[in-house]
Amino acid sequence: MFEVQTSKIHDEARQGEALKPDGMRNPAAERLFFIESYGCAMNFADSEVVASILRKERMDITDDFTKADLIFINTCSVREKAEATVRKRLSEFRKLKKNKPGLLIGVLGCMAERLKAKFLEEEKLVDIVVGPDAYRSLPTLIKEADSGQKGVDVLLSREETYGDIAPIRLNSNGVTAFVSIMRGCNNMCSFCVVPFTRGRERSRDVYSIIRECTDLFEEGYREVTLLGQNVDSYQWYDEQSGKTVSFANLLEQVALVSPLLRVRFSTSHPKDITDEVLFTMKKYENICNYIHLPVQSGSTRMLQLMNRTYTREWYMAKVDRIREILPDCGLSTDTISGFCTETEEDHQDTLSMFDYCKYDLAYMYFYSERPGTLAARRFPDDVPLEVKKRRLAEIVELHRKYSLLSMQKELGRTLKVLIEGESRKSSDQWAGRCDSNKMVVFPKAGNVAKGDYVNVWIEDCTAGTLIGKIV
C-alpha cells in the first residue's frame, strides 16, 4: 500500500513477501520460523510484532521456508484474489509438511479471524490460527500444536495495541519505518471487512509511540510513517495531564523528536482530517506535505451506498481546504469501480473527480464482494465483471495523465530528498523521496550516504519517477 508508484490496477492485495532476517541473529535459537505477509502496511508491521514475540521464545527468523520449523502467513481479507493466493500458498506449504512431519503451519491476521473454521475443519490446511489481536498467545498455541492439538485464538480485543512490544525491524532499509498508533476501525463502510476482522478502534498510548520514534531516530532511522486504519481519529486520554491527546497533538510530539526525523501518516478518512492537523503539518518542516485521502467514488449516490458519510461536494471542499493551507501538498487516493448498482453516470462522476483533484498517486480497484459486509447482505453485486474492468481501465488511463503532469511540474525545481538506498535499476544511482512523496533517482556524487538529506535538481521525469542530480 505504501510503495511509491504512479498507478496500479489492484484486483488483489499486495503480493506475499517474506520477512528477511535483520542481521541480529539469536545464537540461543532452538527453532526457525518463516513469515510471509500479504495486504496493507499494517499487516507487515504486525509481522514485525510477531517476530519480536517469537524471538523471546528462543526462536529466530529465516527467509528460506524449507529450513523453517514453523511457517506463518499473515493474511489479508480485503480482496477476493488475495484470499485465493493465500489458499494456494498454504497448499504448497502443506506438501512440504509431508516430508517434514514436525513442521507447523499457521495463519495470522484477517483471514484467520474470518475463515478459522474453514481452515481447521474443512481444508485441514493449518495447525495454528491466530487473529490480529491474539499474537501474544502464539507461544502457548505453538505448544498446543506441538502436542497434536489445533492452536486457535481469534478473539478480538477492545484494549490490545501491542504498545509495549518493540517490533523487530525486518525487510528494513534502515532509513524508513512504520509505527502503528492505533488498531481497528469504527467506520462501517458497506464494502469493507476490516471492522469485522480487526475490531473496534483503540489508540495506543502516546508515550510508547514517542519512545518508539525516538529509539528509531537514535538507531539511524530518518523517517517514520504513523499507521492506522484511520489515523485522524486517534484519541488517547493522558491521566498524567488530565487531557485528551488528538492526532494533531501526537503529530506535533513526533515532529519534535528531531527536526531530522521526517514524519508521514496513513490512512486519513476524509471526514476526520481537521484544520488542526493541516496547520500542524504547515508548522513543522519535517512533517511531510503528503496526504492519502481515499475518495472511493466520485458519485454522491455511490458514496451513500458505501456509507462513506460525505458527499461529492463535501469531499471536493476538503481538497480545496487542503490546498489552501498546504499549496504544495501531494495527494493520493483509493477508488473502487463497479460497486453495487453503479451506473455510467456514477462512473462519469468518478472520472470528473479525478479531473478535479488531479491526484499525484492513486490505488484503483474494481469491486470485490466480501462476505459478511453490509454490501454483501443488502446490495446486489450486479455490475458485470467486464464492465468493472472497462471502467477501471478508464480511471487508470485518466490518472496516468495527471500523474505525468504532476511529475512534470517538478521539472527545473530543486527538491530536498531523503536517500533511502540505491536505485533498483542501478547501483550507480541513489533513490529517495521528496517531501510530497515522489520517488527521485539521481547519480551518486559527493560524500553522501543512505539516510542523508540532499538537494536534487530535477531535470527529467517519467510518469512514476523524477530524475535529477545533486546540487
Q: What's the CA gap between 154 and 355, in Å, rounded?
A: 43
Q: In this structure, are residues 118 and 90 in contact, taking their beta carbons and an 8 Å threshold? A: no
Q: What is the pLDDT of residue 421?
A: 96
Strands 453-461 and 414-422: antiparallel
d(CA 383, CA 299): 16
pTM: 0.89
The pLDDT assigned to 40 comes to: 82
How far apart, in whole angstroms, are the C-alpha atoms of residue 392 and residue 76?
Answer: 22
Task: Please give the CATH topology (third level) of the domain spanning 7-153.
Answer: Rossmann fold (3.40.50)
* 3-class secondary structure, 428: coil
Contact 399, 7 (CB under 8 A): yes
Strand, coil or helix: 68: coil
CA-based end-to-end distance of the chain: 32
CATH of the domain spanning 176-408, picked from 3.40.190.10, 3.80.30.20, 3.20.20.70, 3.30.300.30: 3.80.30.20
* Spatial contact of 108 and 130, defined as CB atoms under 8 Å apart: yes
What is the Cα–Cα distance from 8 to 14, expressed in whole angstroms? 11
Amino acid 79: pLDDT: 67
User: What is the pLDDT, as a whole number, of residue 7?
Assistant: 36
Measured between alpha carbons, how far is 423 from 185 in angstroms, rounded to an integer? 36
The alpha carbon torsion through 407, 410, 416, 419 (nearest 10 deg) reads 30
Identical topology for domains 7-153 and 414-470 = no
Quick one: which of 442, 74, 2 has its CA closest to 266? Answer: 2
Ordered DSSP codes for 173-225: -SSEEEEE-EE------TT--HHHHH-S-EEPPHHHHHHHHHHHHHTT--EEE
Structural contact between residues 29 and 59, judged by C-beta atoms closer than 8 angstroms: yes
Q: Where are the domains of the chain?
A: 7-153, 176-408, 414-470
CATH class as words, domain 414-470: mainly beta
- Give me the pLDDT at residue 17, please: 64
pLDDT in tens, the chain (471 residues): 223 233 333 333 445 666 566 655 565 678 999 999 888 888 889 999 999 999 999 899 999 999 999 999 998 776 666 777 888 888 889 889 888 888 999 999 888 877 776 776 655 778 999 999 999 999 999 999 999 888 899 888 989 999 999 999 887 899 999 999 999 999 999 999 888 888 999 999 999 999 999 999 999 999 999 999 999 999 999 998 899 999 999 999 999 999 999 999 999 999 999 999 999 999 999 999 999 999 999 999 999 999 999 999 999 999 999 999 999 999 999 999 999 999 999 999 999 999 999 999 999 999 999 888 999 999 999 999 999 999 999 999 999 999 999 999 999 999 999 999 999 999 999 999 999 999 999 999 989 999 999 999 999 999 999 999 999
Spatial CA neighbour of 178 closest among 283, 74, 47: 47
Q: Which of 184, 105, 120, 110 is nearest to 152 (CA)?
A: 120
Q: In this structure, are strands 429-434 and 414-422 parallel, antiparallel, or unpaired?
A: antiparallel
The owner of cell 493449518 is 126
Strand arrangement of the beta sheet that strand 361-366 belongs to? 7-10, 361-366, 330-337, 290-292
Q: Is 457 helix (H, G, I), strand (E, B) or coil?
A: strand
Do residues 261 and 286 lie in contact, with contact meaning Cβ atoms separated by under 8 Å?
yes
Report which of 57, 75, 59 is spatially closest to residue 12, judged by C-alpha positions. Answer: 75
Phi-psi region of 220 (alpha: psi -120 to 50; beta: other; left: phi over 0): left
